[in-house]
């Protein structure tokens, strides 16, 4: 049975006086433990798809099921609660809070979830060490390289122990060598944490480490 099932998904945005249909009858099945890459030209809707899968935006039609949960049918507060507990996001830009150090940034989702501070700090510290940032625990974002900041973002995405990881161009702002290191890290974390992952990317090297590659075009998905 698929862990993530998307059926006949539709999404349209109002642009001035006209309607822009981004996704049209899109369907997708992702097995538990699978790592799937979504490729396609800029502007075809890759980010939109990830936002819908993670409940950051609402669908216009169709259905999204994650395990036994019908995400599309949940009221807004329940979507937020589900997302905070079960979905991890990594974006192209790390979105770290500049006034907080690496441990504090990583632990933030746990603090929001009211996990005791000592437990949140311990879990964040352990993850940062796992992604190779032992030497940056007390550093703020401005004191770290772009690759290091993105490693913090990956640790933050995993700190709640999600079952689904969604990554939107996670290495799009990095040089090739740094990006390759992040590709290996994403694969390692995927396996180590037993994740199901969907990654939107222009980077074919990143797509090549995934189990399956799909291309988004004209609002639907097809094998790349």
Give the tens place of pLDDT for each residue, 112-143. Answer: 989 999 999 999 999 999 988 999 999 999 99
Q: Is residue 173 part of a domain?
A: yes
Query: Residue 186, exposed/middle/buried by CB under 10 A (0-12, 13-18, 19+)?
Result: buried
Confirm if 45 and 216 have CB atoms less than 8 A apart.
yes
CATH number at residue 174: 3.40.50.300
pLDDT of 174 reads 78
From first to last of its 224 residues, the chain has per-residue pLDDT tens of 689 999 999 999 888 888 888 899 999 999 999 999 999 988 899 999 999 999 999 998 999 999 999 999 999 999 999 999 899 999 888 889 999 999 999 999 999 989 999 999 999 999 999 988 999 999 999 999 988 998 999 999 999 999 999 999 888 777 888 888 888 888 999 999 999 999 999 888 889 989 999 999 989 999 98
Q: Look at residue 104 and tell me if it is in a domain.
A: yes
Model pLDDT, residue 14: 83
pLDDT in tens, 184-204: 888 999 999 999 999 999 888
Answer yes or no: is 29 within a domain.
Answer: no
User: Which candidate, 210, 223, 165, places its Cα nearest to that of 27?
Assistant: 223
Does this model's pTM top 0.95? My answer is no
- Report if residue 108 sits inside a domain: yes
Note whether residue 19 is domain-resident.
Answer: no
The total of structural domains in the chain comes to 1
Domain containing 217: what range? Answer: 34-60+75-223
102: phi then psi, degrees, rounded to nearest 5: -60, -45
Angle, in degrees to the nearest 10, between helices 102-112 and 117-130: 130
Would you state the pLDDT for residue 1? 67
């Amino acid at each position: 049975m698929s862990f993530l099932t998307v059926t006949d998904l539709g999404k349209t945005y109002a642009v001035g006086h006209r309607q822009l249909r981004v996704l049209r009858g899109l369907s997708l099945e992702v097995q538990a433990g699978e790592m799937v890459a979504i490729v396609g030209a800029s502007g075809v809707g890759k980010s939109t798809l990830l936002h819908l899968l993670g409940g950051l935006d609402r669908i216009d039609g169709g259905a999204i099921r994650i395990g036994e949960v019908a995400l599309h049918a949940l009221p807004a507060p329940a979507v937020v609660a589900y997302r905070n507990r079960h979905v991890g996001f990594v974006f192209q830009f790390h979105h770290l809070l500049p006034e907080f150090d690496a441990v504090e940034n990583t632990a933030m989702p746990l603090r929001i979830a009211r996990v005791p501070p000592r437990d949140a700090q311990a879990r964040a510290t352990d993850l940062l060490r796992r992604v190779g940032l032992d030497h940056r625990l007390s550093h703020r974002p401005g004191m770290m390289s772009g690759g290091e900041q993105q490693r913090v973002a990956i640790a933050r995405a995993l700190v709640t122990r999600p079952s689904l990881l969604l990554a939107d161009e996670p290495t799009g702002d990095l040089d090739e060598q740094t990006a390759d290191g992040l590709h290996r890290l994403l694969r390692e974390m995927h396996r180590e944490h037993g994740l199901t992952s969907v990654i939107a990317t222009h980077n074919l090297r990143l797509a090549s480490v995934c189990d399956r590659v799909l291309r988004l075009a004209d609002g639907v998905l097809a094998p790349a």
